[in-house]
């Protein structure tokens, strides 16, 4: 993939393509380094493991490791903080930036799509779902925001070729170690940025704009805002005015919640009936022990006969008490519901079976203590949608800009603007249209923005941006005693079509289907 | 659910996860919204406080994705996929619900029955 990216970069003519190619290249390099590092670690661990370790005796293992889980981060949104002069006036060239997020968990690195940002955007929103499998409860998800300027930074004539040739030679072991060492030493305060610095001069340069690290404490089945550590300052060419936080949905699904951890035949003592034991097929999954009539029911999706909850408050005991003759190998599960305590007694088939059930339950309790809030309920993870090709940022603008109406306004212009924005949605005329077609029987005595009927247009409004009128302001030709014409003049600018700000108290309560 | 401007708003919310239904070209949710900061709040039949300019659910289609997910008529929508809905215009609210790239929307809604249930359980 690296070879391909190098070739592509050399062939790039447009800045955007070059940015995309550079991003792929840099991400590739970082991945290679990270996997090499992981390989090294595993080899070392293997060597250490082989020497000087006694085989564990029977009994509970002293080191219990928590189960793995899937961690998914989605709906990433980073608010921007433009100066209001920049946002509204919109004068001058439109500076554009290309940004993307790099996410690292353990040795896996994933990137989001590249998004083009300019000053008409209030937030950088990433549509991706990024999924990491094989995460432990002690995971550290490092999030880094990289940006590059869309405008050319310098002469680029022969540079792409130089970049390509330098990178196409593979990273040898010694040079790799050197780079890694320099990275590790460079990270004085915290860990160093994941991305390697661009080795050659040419090609667009990505700068680290902000970073943060998320852990299990940040996981929640909902949206949360986290602080970002800003890493660049105004002198940096790729600096963006970041508000300083990132909003996202970070969820984790430990495997113990989604996969069955134990199953087998059990005999369950029915409540109240000492001698009546039902034979069931038990499946331990998540925070419940499902008891099915037959083993096949678990697969076919049949409802279980009953379900025993297993959560942090459940108490389990390998029962030596209540051992009636001929009923060995029992265990009891007790749950407290308010004032009552409900105890189920289960009999397994053999000592080995009892041992493995107890082992599975202890492992589950351990996992629940490690994964904490992730074991309260299964958090949903959607399969990540296939990556779309990066779209050129259409000049979005805000509602204000799109409602700009020329002085020669008429209703057709308004409906046209809306029709363009919404495509075919406006088959039925919108409800507010009725306001314009019928007589505006309500003159606006309170609204200072209303134009007096006699002079059709005293001052044509230069429609640069919406303006709020002070409620005290009185237009020069407004006289309270003058009779107000009720009949509309066809050329008269209707006060309501001026935009959101100038129409006085809202009169409608619209309803829209979604 | 009145609020004092400048003070943080607190509410007891219910999470509702709606999976949009594809109808030809469109992805629909199966409900209608009313309200917004550019609308007249006194005409809102569902709000307790007639100055509340929030977004309310005015209709839920039978058997539609919203009804299946548990959305009820009269609910006030506080948040959609992390985006705030308490201070938005009507059109902004509609747009945040109908993004074509999103197939699932996660809403935080509040309703008076929730508020009362929490109050009752706190007293007992």
Residue B4 lies in a domain: no
Which of B15, B43, B82 is the closest to A509 by Cβ? B43
Which of A222, A382, A509 is the closest to B104 by Cβ? A382
Give mean pLDDT, residues A498-503: 52
pLDDT confidence of residue A428? 53
Chain B's closest residue to A379, CA to CA, is B17
Residue B5 lies in a domain: no
Number of domains into which chain B is organized: 1
Helical segments of A99-254, H only: 159-168, 173-186
B43 Cβ neighbours under 8 A, 6+ residues apart: A508, A509
HEC sequence for A253-322: EEHHHHCEEEEEEEEEECCCCCCCEEEEEEEEECCEEEEECCHHHHHHCCCCCEEEECCCCCEEEEECCC
Q: With bands split at pLDDT 50, 70 and 90, how would you rate the model's confidence at A384?
A: low
Q: Examine the pLDDT at A470 and tell me if it is beyond 60.
A: no
Give mean pLDDT, residues A123-139: 90
pLDDT confidence of residue A192? 52
pLDDT confidence of residue B29? 93
Give the single-character DSSP code of B82: T
Q: How far apart are CA B40 and CA A234, in angstroms?
A: 43
Give mean pLDDT, residues B58-68: 93
Which of A223, A506, A511 is the closest to B58 by Cβ? A511
CA distances from A103 to A30, A31, A371 (A): 11, 11, 21
Give mean pLDDT, residues A473-482: 45
The answer to whether residue A500 neighbours chain B at the CB level (below 8 Å) is yes
The model's pLDDT over A399-446, given as tens digits with 9 standing for 90+, comes to 444 444 444 445 555 556 555 655 544 445 556 655 555 444 444 444
Question: Any bridge partners for residue A207, and if so which?
Answer: A147
Q: How far apart are CA A145 and CA A227, in angstroms?
A: 13
Give mean pLDDT, residues A54-61: 48
pLDDT confidence of residue A139? 93
Q: How far is B13 from chain A (nearest CA, A)?
A: 12
Q: Examine the pLDDT at A165 and tell me if it is beyond 50.
A: no
Burial A101-134 (b: 16+ CB within 10 A, else e): bbbbbebbbbbbbbbbbbbbbeebbbbbbbbbee
For residue A399, the chain B residues in CB contact (below 8 A) are 89, 91-92
Cβ separation B44–A221 shorter than 8 A: no
Cβ separation B106–A223 shorter than 8 A: yes
For residue A77, the chain B residues in CB contact (below 8 A) are 82
The model's pLDDT over A272-299, given as tens digits with 9 standing for 90+, comes to 556 677 888 888 888 888 888 888 877 7
Residue B92 lies in a domain: yes
More confident residue, B107 or A170: B107
For residue B91, the chain A residues in CB contact (below 8 A) are 399
Q: Which domain holds residue B18?
A: 11-120
For residue A505, the chain B residues in CB contact (below 8 A) are 40
pLDDT confidence of residue A268? 83
pLDDT confidence of residue A141? 93
Q: With bands split at pLDDT 50, 70 and 90, how would you rate the model's confidence at B79?
A: very high
Residue B6 lies in a domain: no
Give mean pLDDT, residues A333-340: 84
CATH code of the domain covering residue B17: 2.30.42.10
Helical segments of A395-456, H only: 399-402, 411-422, 433-437
Which of B36, B82, B101 is the closest to A249 by Cβ? B82
A148 close to A204: Cβ distance less than 8 angstroms: yes
Query: Smallest Cα–Cα separation from B58: which of B39, B35, B25, B41?
Result: B35
* Cα within 13 Å of Cα(A216), Cβ side: 18
Residue B71 lies in a domain: yes
Cβ separation A247–B82 shorter than 8 A: yes
Q: How far apart are CA B84 and CA B80, in angstroms?
A: 7
For residue B102, the chain A residues in CB contact (below 8 A) are 127
pLDDT confidence of residue A17? 78
Strand A229-230 vs strand A224-227: parallel, antiparallel, or unpaired? unpaired
Give the single-character DSSP code of B63: T
- At A11 the three-state DSSP class reads helix
Q: Examine the pLDDT at A325 and tell me if it is beyond 70.
A: no
pLDDT confidence of residue A276? 73
Residue B2 lies in a domain: no
Cβ separation A512–B33 shorter than 8 A: yes
- pTM for the model: 0.64
Residue B56 lies in a domain: yes
Q: Examine the pLDDT at B90 and tell me if it is beyond 90.
A: yes
Cβ separation B35–A509 shorter than 8 A: yes
For residue B43, the chain A residues in CB contact (below 8 A) are 508-509
Which of A75, A221, A505 is the closest to B82 by Cβ? A75
Q: What is the mean pLDDT of chain B?
A: 89
The model's pLDDT over A205-253, given as tens digits with 9 standing for 90+, comes to 888 899 999 999 999 988 999 999 988 887 777 888 899 999 999 999 9
pLDDT confidence of residue A157? 35
More confident residue, B93 or A400: B93
Residue B66 lies in a domain: yes
Q: Examine the pLDDT at A86 and tell me if it is beyond 90.
A: no
pLDDT confidence of residue A189? 34
A14 Cβ neighbours under 8 A, 6+ residues apart: none
Q: With bands split at pLDDT 50, 70 and 90, how would you rate the model's confidence at A383?
A: confident
More confident residue, A339 or A62: A339
For residue B89, the chain A residues in CB contact (below 8 A) are 399, 500
Q: How far apart are CA B107 and CA B16, in angstroms?
A: 5
A-B contacts (CB, under 8 Å): 68
Burial of B124 (0-12, 13-18, 19+ CB in 10 A): exposed
Q: A329-343, A446-460, B37-51 — which is least confidently predicted?
A: A446-460
Could you tell me which residues of chain B have a Cβ less than 8 Å from any Cβ in chain A?
15, 17, 28-29, 31-36, 38-41, 43-44, 58-59, 79, 81-82, 89-92, 94, 97-98, 101-104, 106, 108
Q: What is the mean pLDDT of chain A?
A: 71
Phi, psi of A248, deg, nearest 5: -160, 175
Which of B28, B33, B103 is the closest to A511 by Cβ? B33
């Amino acid at each position: 993939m690296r070879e391909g990216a190098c070739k592509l970069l050399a062939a790039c003519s447009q800045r955007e393509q070059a940015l995309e190619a550079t991003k792929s290249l840099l991400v590739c390099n970082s991945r290679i380094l990270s996997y090499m590092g992981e390989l090294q670690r595993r080899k070392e661990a293997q060597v250490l493991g082989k020497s000087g370790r006694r085989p564990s005796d029977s009994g509970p293992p002293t080191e219990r490791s928590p189960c793995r889980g899937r961690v998914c981060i989605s709906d990433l949104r980073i608010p921007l903080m433009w100066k209001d002069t920049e946002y509204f006036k919109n004068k001058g060239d439109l500076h554009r930036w290309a940004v993307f997020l790099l996410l690292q968990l353990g040795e896996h690195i994933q990137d989001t799509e590249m998004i083009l940002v300019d000053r008409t955007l209030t937030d950088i929103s990433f549509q991706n779902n990024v999924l990491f499998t094989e995460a432990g409860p002690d995971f550290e998800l490092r999030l880094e925001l990289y940006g590059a300027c869309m405008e050319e930074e310098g002469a680029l004539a022969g540079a792409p070729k130089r970049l390509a040739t330098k990178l196409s030679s593979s990273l040898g072991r010694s040079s790799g170690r050197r780079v890694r060492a320099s990275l590790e030493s460079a990270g004085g305060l915290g860990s160093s940025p994941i991305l390697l610095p661009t080795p050659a001069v040419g090609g667009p340069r990505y700068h680290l704009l902000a970073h943060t690290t998320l852990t299990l404490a940040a996981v929640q089945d909902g949206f949360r805002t986290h602080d970002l550590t800003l890493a660049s300052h105004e002198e940096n060419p790729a600096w963006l005015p970041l508000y300083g936080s990132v909003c996202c949905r970070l969820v984790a699904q430990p495997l113990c919640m989604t996969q069955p951890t134990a199953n087998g035949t059990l005999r369950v003592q029915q409540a109240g009936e000492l001698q009546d034991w039902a034979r069931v097929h038990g499946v331990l999954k998540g925070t419940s022990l499902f008891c099915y009539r037959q083993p096949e029911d678990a697969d076919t999706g049949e409802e279980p006969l009953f379900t025993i909850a297993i959560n942090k408050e459940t108490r389990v005991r390998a029962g030596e008490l209540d051992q009636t003759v001929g009923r060995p190998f029992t265990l009891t599960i007790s749950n407290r519901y308010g004032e009552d305590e409900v105890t189920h007694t289960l009999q397994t088939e053999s000592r080995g079976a009892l041992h493995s059930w107890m082992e599975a339950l202890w492992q589950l309790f351990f996992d629940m203590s490690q994964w904490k809030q992730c074991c309260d309920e299964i958090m949903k993870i959607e399969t990540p949608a296939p990556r779309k090709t990066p779209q050129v940022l259409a000049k979005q603008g805000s509602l204000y800009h799109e409602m700009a109406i020329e002085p020669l306004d008429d209703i057709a212009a308004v409906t046209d603007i809306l029709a363009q924005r919404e495509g075919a949605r406006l088959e039925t005329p919108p409800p507010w249209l009725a306001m314009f077609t019928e007589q505006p029987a309500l003159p606006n005595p309170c609204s200072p923005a209303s134009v007096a009927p006699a002079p059709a247009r005293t001052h044509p409004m230069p429609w640069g941006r919406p303006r709020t009128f002070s409620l005290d302001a009185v237009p020069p030709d407004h006289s309270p005693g003058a009779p107000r014409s009720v009949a509309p003049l066809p050329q008269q600018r209707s006060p309501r079509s001026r935009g959101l700000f100038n129409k006085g108290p809202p009169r409608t309560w619209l309803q829209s289907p979604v | 659910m009145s609020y004092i401007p400048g003070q943080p708003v607190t509410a007891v919310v219910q999470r509702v996860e709606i999976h949009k239904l594809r109808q030809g070209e469109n992805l629909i949710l199966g409900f209608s919204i009313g309200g917004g900061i550019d609308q007249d709040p006194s005409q809102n039949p569902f709000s307790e406080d007639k100055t509340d300019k929030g977004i309310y659910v005015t209709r839920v289609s039978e058997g539609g994705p919203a009804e299946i997910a548990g959305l009820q008529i009269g609910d006030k929508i506080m948040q959609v996929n992390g985006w705030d809905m308490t201070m938005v215009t009507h059109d902004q609210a509609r747009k945040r619900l109908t993004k074509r790239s999103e197939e699932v929307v996660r809403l935080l809604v509040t309703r008076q029955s929730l508020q009362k249930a929490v109050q009752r359980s706190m007293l007992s």
